Structure 1
Amino acid sequence: MFPILVDGPAVEPITLAEMKAHLRVDDDADDELIGGLVKAARLMVEAVSRRILIEQRWRLMLHRWPQGGTVLLPVSPLIAIESIHVFDASGAATEVTAEAFESDALSDPPRIMLHGAPEPGKIRNGIAIDLRAGFGAAPDAVPASLRLAVKILVAHWYENRGDVAGEQVLPPDAFALLAPFQRARL
């Protein structure tokens, strides 16, 4: 299974004005830099926490249904399953009806339980699952600690542009804010 980003977030979890106020920057000379740092920090927070901050559309491709009929989704939190398509040997798609699966957005990781979905005819990429994931569409839907982690990262990167040699790691205070959201790897 591999996730493909279909549509990124419409907004970032921290606005440019909010970030500039946090950095105490009054002029507009670094707006592009600060905006880029906010996006990079969001991506870093999403990667470390293994959570999508702002609503995004994703497509998951599977070769076959897993044994037991439960698909563990690699992106969370799950907002909704938009559609599931199964492809036959010729590549024609058939939509799986809503009665043939059930989504569980509250489990960690989120999952889909199948109830008689058809088997794919293609050997590779026979199943496409389109979904929306994230805490919500607006910045205020993102937990405050994750928004603060983004601000800390941006401030760290902004203040240390080109000045840091050696290994780059998350500032300890940002990492501490992300720890409760990390999913254990077994």
Structure 2
Amino acid sequence: MTPIALEPPASEPVSLAEARLFLRLDQNDEDDLLATLVTAARLMIEAAAGRCLVDQQWRIVLDRWPPSGEIRLPLSPVSQILAARVYDLLGQAQPVAATALALDGQADPPSIRLEGEVPEAGRPRGAIEIDVVAGYGATPDAVPAPLRQAVLRLAARWFEQRGDVASRDAQALPVEIMALTAPYRRVRL
């Protein structure tokens, strides 16, 4: 199973104004840098927590339908299935009926159950594509406050301590930021 990002979030979980206020910046001459740091911090927090923050579109690519009839998704939380298609032997996309797939977005990890007839996969690799919306909601307010705070603090850290701090943080996030993400971290067994 391969997740592919299709469309990034429409907004970041922390606005530029919030970041500027947190850093006590009165001028906006470094807004481009700060916006880049907020985006990079979101990506790091999403990776650390194993969660998508603001709604974004992803494609899940499978080779075959699972024998169990259940697809455990590598993304969380997932709120909607947008579309699904299966490629036949000729490489033509066959749509999957919306009623054939049921999303359990409350489960962790979220899962999709096959509940109806689905077309057979025709090609050996990447035969099934399922497009989903992953994230806590469409607006920053939908993101849990500790995760928003983690993004804000990480972006501020990188802004204030320019240089190699970002590469060190890529190895291991600071303890205070990991503590903010801990309650949301996806556990893998």
With the shorter chain as reference, the TM-score category is over 0.9
Aligned to 2:152: 151
Report the CA distance shift for 1:111/1:53 in structure 2 as closer, same or farther (over 3 A): same
Q: Matched residue of 2:68: which SS?
A: helix
Post-superposition CA distance 1:87-113 (Å, at most 9, x none): 101011111112222110000010001
- Aligned residue type for 1:98: A
Tell me the distance in 2 between the aligned counterparts of 1:143 and 1:52.
11
Aligned to 1:67: 67
1:178 aligns with 2:181: yes
Change (3 A) 1:165 1:68: closer
Match of 1:134 in 2: 135
Aligned mates of 1:99, 1:159 — CA distance in 2 = 51
Mean CA deviation greater in 80-89 or 156-165: 156-165
Which TM-score applies when normalising by structure 2?
0.94
Check if 1:99 corresponds to 2:99: yes
**Cα distance in 2, alignment partners of residues 157 and 105 from structure 1:** 34
TM-superposed deviation, 1:67? 2.2
Closer, same or farther in 2 for the Cα pair 1:150/1:66, shift >3 Å?
A: same
* Number of equivalenced pairs: 186
3-state secondary structure, aligned to 1:68: coil
Q: Matched residues in 2 for 1:102 and 1:10: separation?
A: 26
Note the alpha carbon deviations across 1:110-142, whole angstroms, 9 max, x for none. 000112322201111110001111111111111
Residue equivalent to 1:24 = 24
Distance 2:182 2:34 in 1: 25
1:167: Cα distance to partner?
Answer: 3.7
Alignment check: 8 A CA contact 2:62 2:127 kept: yes
For the residue of structure 2 that corresponds to 1:158, the secondary structure is helix
Structure 1 stretch displaced more, 81-90 or 91-100: 91-100
Partner of 1:120: 121
CA 164–37 in structure 1, closer or farther in 2 if over 3 Å, else same: closer
Greater shift in the superposed pair: 93-102 or 43-52: 93-102
Q: Which runs of 5+ in 1 are unaligned?
A: none
Taking only aligned residues, the RMSD between alpha carbons, in angstroms, comes to 1.5
- Deviation at residue 164 of structure 1 after TM alignment: 4.4
